[in-house]
Structure 1
């Protein structure tokens, strides 16, 4: 390290021959020599560079060596630079004593002792190289400390993220097992009941009306299972950037009416009455399957948290945007919870016995965003919620080549 460090030396003398002679005397490997022919020029160099040593001639016009030294000692940047005075004046003038008073480390009398000059310069040059090496090491240690501190903070953050991920995974698996078990239990009980009737020869249990009710019940349970599985698969697709969007001409009003008709039985079971305001001719270039997902997610969300209060579904449009709005008058969402409901595995009012994986609104937002649209919620606790989806009428979503 020391061999790569350059130490800077300053020579100040008003006689060019003296500058050249002293330069030749002290020049060596790893040293950079600067010349100044006046005190003013020396001050300029001193403010620009960090010198290991300043060799200053005492007798100079305008500003002598002592005056230059006093200015150096009064300046923060230069006050610690070692000074060696050089003079041809006789010893009777007590220049050496005055030089030491101004803070010089040595005083050399002309003609110069070559060995004394070279050895003194070598000492200060070595000290400067060691000082620079220590400074480099200190900076390297400080940089290493900062990097280690950054890594430590990142490690702590990663640990917290891992803890959160593990907790979310455990919660998710618990929710999945519960949600999947509910429709499966219904199907198993219905199957066992039918088996019992068949084994007992009780064919009266299979009247057309009862068969229709059984079939309707089975269909709802199977649909519920499929939706749960599709939600899980969609999250995986979203994470890998493979959520498929295949735009085509879609009449939003017609699609809404079809969904509402298909979910009429669930609406009746939820105890929520339905009112609609569906405009005609709201046609855009969207993925019908994905937009239907959005409708179903918002509708089932309203039924789940609607507290058996009325639900309103509206389809509207202006010149640029189509709007799908689903409003309930149920439990509502606090302002704080509104910031997280579109995240994965987050459920509104999770402290209640709510169903669902907490994926519906997350998937809904991803689908809307993929269509270059937006979704917002307006709600307050105890006052219901209104979800509004805005989809562009003219700008189509970018199709994905990945299969769903």
Structure 2
């Protein structure tokens, strides 16, 4: 019998079955599908978790062995190297370990007797990789940041597979017990569902036969059927409410799609622009090299071309970093690494990074840097905040003067960036710190609309706050306040 015929016969029998049988079949089918999907999800999660654990374990061992092997590789002391590798014998999952020098010659190795394996001619180019039978890690051996060798460790997957198998058996047994419980419960509750439905179907049949729509179904004793009958009487009202709700949801979805499309359009343009410039510069350099004209090309023009390429690469990197930061923030993975930070140093570093943009905009920078108390903050993130604020001031300042001010007191540090550019309306200020928010048209000003959103998240992660004061045509002032009390607690903890 063909599969289509079997499917048709099963469907026919299901349609002819009683409502009670259908309820049991539907409940059991739903429960079994849900249990199966949950079991698969748990099994996949177990596999991924065990893989991550294995990766962390073996890579940790590789890093320790690599660090301990630096001196032995430097002096090509094979005995010392073999003694170091012999420590891997305590780890039953390690099958083999090989150390290569910079010319890919094997200096030392460790092989478990039952492994029956030899060091490969060269280590893998991948940091780590899985195969069907084993897991391989390649760890560089460094001396003053110079690679002098490579450590290759091969681990079996027996421990991971055993753990996954145990989890799978436990999951299957749990699914079996849950299925039995679901079947028992479905047999117990189907009467409570089917009997009132039979009565409701009989009433509907009488109304259909007599054509008397004044007949009403009697309210059942249980609350659920009473609610069903009341819902039937108010069906039209509910349909109208649902239609309104659907229209509202449709409007929200259309707005979300519009925002998404606008962002994708802006993002594709913003990402394509530096890439196009980089490609043009590289094509020109390629033609000069290909035709052996690089030595005759004017030096100043070549330096300007390289500077432009560097500027476009920096711009592209910032755009990509912004997108990555939004992903980290959305997933809750934005981490801070506090250290003592001098705001004056941060200001001067940011100005050096933006020197080209400042020169192009012809903006003048006025500094009012007061206070010498350093704070315990994440240096990179604070630089990122100030970079966003100053970059916006240069972009929207219209070439006017920009003032950067800092001050500290006993409890906090305050940073303010003021421009005298186009300004921001009160309506636009409401959502200015949201993702993809833009107060100016993307046709006239570039960017993804993520800088202030990221800045706000970073400041709030430090326990601070960020505020804006602006009027159209009068410029904008953005003020960041960071607590110093947090710095004092961190400093005390470090010293302890």
Q: Is the structural similarity TM-score above 0.5?
A: yes
Match of 2:372 in 1: 281
CA contact (8 A) 1:278 1:314 kept: yes
CA contact (8 A) 1:321 1:392 kept: yes
**Which sections of structure 2, spanning at least 5 residues, go unmatched?**
1-217, 491-496
Match of 1:91 in 2: none
Secondary structure of the corresponding residue to residue 403 of structure 2: strand
Does 2:456 correspond to 1:365? yes
Is the alpha carbon distance of 1:232 and 1:397 closer, same or farther for their aligned partners in structure 2, counting shifts above 3 Å? farther
Give the Å deviation of 1:274. 0.9
Match of 1:236 in 2: 327
Secondary structure of the corresponding residue to residue 346 of structure 1: coil
Match of 1:167 among 254, 258, 262: 258
Is the alpha carbon distance of 1:133 and 1:391 closer, same or farther for their aligned partners in structure 2, counting shifts above 3 Å? same
Match of 2:406 among 315, 333, 354: 315
Secondary structure of the corresponding residue to residue 312 of structure 1: strand
Give the Å deviation of 1:265. 1.9
Match of 2:478 among 383, 387, 390: 387
CA contact (8 A) 1:172 1:345 kept: yes
In proportion to residue count, which structure has more helix? 2
Give the Å deviation of 1:198. 2.7
Match of 2:342 in 1: 251
Give the Å deviation of 1:233. 1.1
CA distance in 1, matches of 2:480, 2:451: 14
User: Per-residue CA shift, 1:233-277, capped at 9, x if unaligned?
Assistant: 111111111112222221112111111122212210112111111
CA distance in 1, matches of 2:430, 2:487: 28
Match of 1:332 in 2: 423
Secondary structure of the corresponding residue to residue 194 of structure 1: helix
Secondary structure of the corresponding residue to residue 485 of structure 2: coil
Match of 1:306 in 2: 397
Secondary structure of the corresponding residue to residue 395 of structure 1: helix
So what's the TM-score if we normalise by structure 2?
A: 0.50
Give the Å deviation of 1:150. 6.9
Q: Which structure has more RCO (C-alpha within 8 Å, separation ≥ 6)?
A: 1
Structure 1 runs of 4+ off > 3 angstroms? Answer: 130-158, 203-212, 396-399
So what's the TM-score if we normalise by structure 1?
A: 0.60
Give the Å deviation of 1:224. 0.5
The CA RMSD measured in Å over matched residues stands at 3.1
User: Per-residue CA shift, 1:206-236, capped at 9, x if unaligned?
Assistant: 5554443333222211111111011111111
Match of 2:307 among 199, 202, 216: 216
CA contact (8 A) 2:372 2:408 kept: no
Secondary structure of the corresponding residue to residue 203 of structure 1: coil
Match of 2:289 among 195, 198, 201: 198
Match of 2:116 in 1: none
**Which sections of structure 1, spanning at least 5 residues, go unmatched?**
1-129, 400-404
User: Per-residue CA shift, 1:56-102, capped at 9, x if unaligned?
Assistant: xxxxxxxxxxxxxxxxxxxxxxxxxxxxxxxxxxxxxxxxxxxxxxx
Aligned length: 271
